[in-house]
Chain A
Amino acid sequence: MIEFEHVRKRFGDHVVIDDLSLRVEDGEFFVLVGPSGSGKSTLLRTVNRLVHVDAGCVRVDGEDVATRNVETLRRGIGYAIQSVGLFPHRTVAENIATVPRLLRWPEADIRARVDELIALLRLDGMAERYPHTLSGGQQQRVGVARALAARPRIVLMDEPFGALDPLTRESLQGSLKAIQRDMGTTILFVTHDMDEAFGLGDRVGLMLDGGLVQVGKPLELLHAPADERVRDFVGGTRARLRELAVRTVGENMRRGEQAEGEPVDAGTTLQEALGAMLTQGRDRLPVHEHGQAVGAIVLVDLVARGA
């Protein structure tokens, strides 16, 4: 659990965070979204004390971070950044082992954990390679693996997928979301990309000029924007397209009905279902769940849904 209580921060005359309060629950995937300069990265860094707050307090699991030993605090919190910051003189395996080494885990445990993460993040065969021989996407996978290595209960991520191409980004977002669900990790994630925020976040906090304008589930921001600024940021007419990426086929299908064509899975998003309809030139498609036909998804329902 991460709590921000009346946090303020200024750099010189510039107010970066203005009396901000927020509570991120255990096991939650919370995304801070906002334009550059809105203070979201600064807020993130107050958690592991890379930034010191001027006023207010930040608590991790009920304890004020200012009272903790800074190295112990940081070793207990995963941290991944857009520029990755892999150590160029260390192999992939050594990079991943960084925090467990700092925590003096037994060598056998470290090796087992590294193998586990290499499999989890699909880095097979790269353990002994050096970072400069990897692609951007592979480097970022190593960065994520390194952040997760010591099984931190809290992970901070600052635009970790910002520099990647869309396909690689999507695949990494999928991996991250799955890992987060499996391990119950609390993730505080910063991005300026609305689609990324709505795709990943259990809750999303929209930050503008150092303050949180609205906090809520992705659909709440889409359906009930708190004000004009939120409406602009979530994208006007594009908001409806974003909504398709948040809703799943399962909760919008007509159970028991039938349809012709290549089936879609109940767990996929409406966006993918719409794509399948466009590809196949049909306005209804069969829906499968665990390989069984359970219903149909219909184009008019997609159009009618929403605000």
Chain B
Amino acid sequence: MRVFAPFAVLVLLLLGLPHVGGWFHAWQPELTHPLYTRTSFLSLTLAHLGLVVAATSVAVAIGLGLGIVATRPAGRSLLPTVRAVAVIGQTVPPVAVLAIAVPLLGFGAAPTLLALVLYGVLPVLGQTVAGLDQVPADALHAADGMGYGRWRRLLDVELPLAAGPVMAGVRLSAIVGVGTATIGSAVGATTLGSPIVEGLVGNNPAYVVQGALLVGALALTVDAVLAALERRVRRQT
């Protein structure tokens, strides 16, 4: 149910919005185009989701990897540096990242991906470190005493026990991504931000509302799916 409701709202919007141009016309009678039609809402949503999935995957790989390295005995000294770098990544506004990335990567999806990855790493990294740190010390002591090797212990004991917090980080990272990807349209990426940006530039509030409704529904859906996954993972620990 908790997953179904936001997903149902998203589907309803995707199916219903193209047919309610009349409502937007009634709301803003002076608009000649009350409904965004340049690209279908479905393909905008899929493109948006694709960007987020790609960026979050990369962010998870980086965040998890750094988190693991930073919690090994040999990597402990790196932890403050790793954290500082990730926090800096988080504090730079997305628009600034895009402004810096466009001259390097050109317009389109590439600079958006970079911004999303930078934004997505910190939550995963933070939660990975927190999750690995809260693995019970006696379980690790017992694992060592029974003859687990380092890798085996990481895979069989530490990561499964840290899975709950790590999933919470993945979820946060994806949600931030859904919101941030909207800005990518400012540099030419095709996302649900396209109607919003176009609406703002062309003084068309109907476009803005349509894009915003869809982004909101998509964020709730992604959150609900990942929350369900997180609950399932936590139940096993």
Contacts and interface: CB of A to CB of B under 8 A. Distances in A.
Q: In which size bucket is the chain B interface?
A: 10 to 19
Nearest to A143: B142
B232 interface: no
A86 B145 contact: no
Contacts of B161: 87-89
A81 B141 contact: yes
A89 B237 contact: yes
B78 interface: no
Nearest to A72: B147
The winner among A85, A98, A146 for most chain B CB atoms within 10 A is A85
Contacts of B157: 87
Contact of A85 (B139, B149, B237): B139
Contacts of A75: 146-147
Interface in A143-171: 143, 146, 156
B138 A73 contact: no
Chain A's interface size range is 20 to 34
Contacts of A146: 146
B146 to A, nearest CB: 5
B27 interface: no
Nearest to A149: B146
A148 to B, nearest CB: 12
A102 B139 CA distance: 16
Nearest to B237: A89
Contacts of A71: 147-149
Chain B facing A: main interface SS: helix
A163 to B, nearest CB: 11
Nearest to B150: A71
B160 interface: yes
Contacts of B236: 89
Nearest to B236: A89
A180 interface: no
Interface of B: 136, 138-149, 152, 157, 160-161, 236-237
Interface of A: 48, 50, 70-76, 79, 81, 83-89, 98-99, 102, 143, 146, 156
Given A98-B146, A143-B142, 12 more contacts: A74-B145, A75-B146, A79-B142, A81-B141, A85-B136, A85-B138, A87-B139, A87-B143, A87-B157, A87-B161, A89-B160, A99-B146
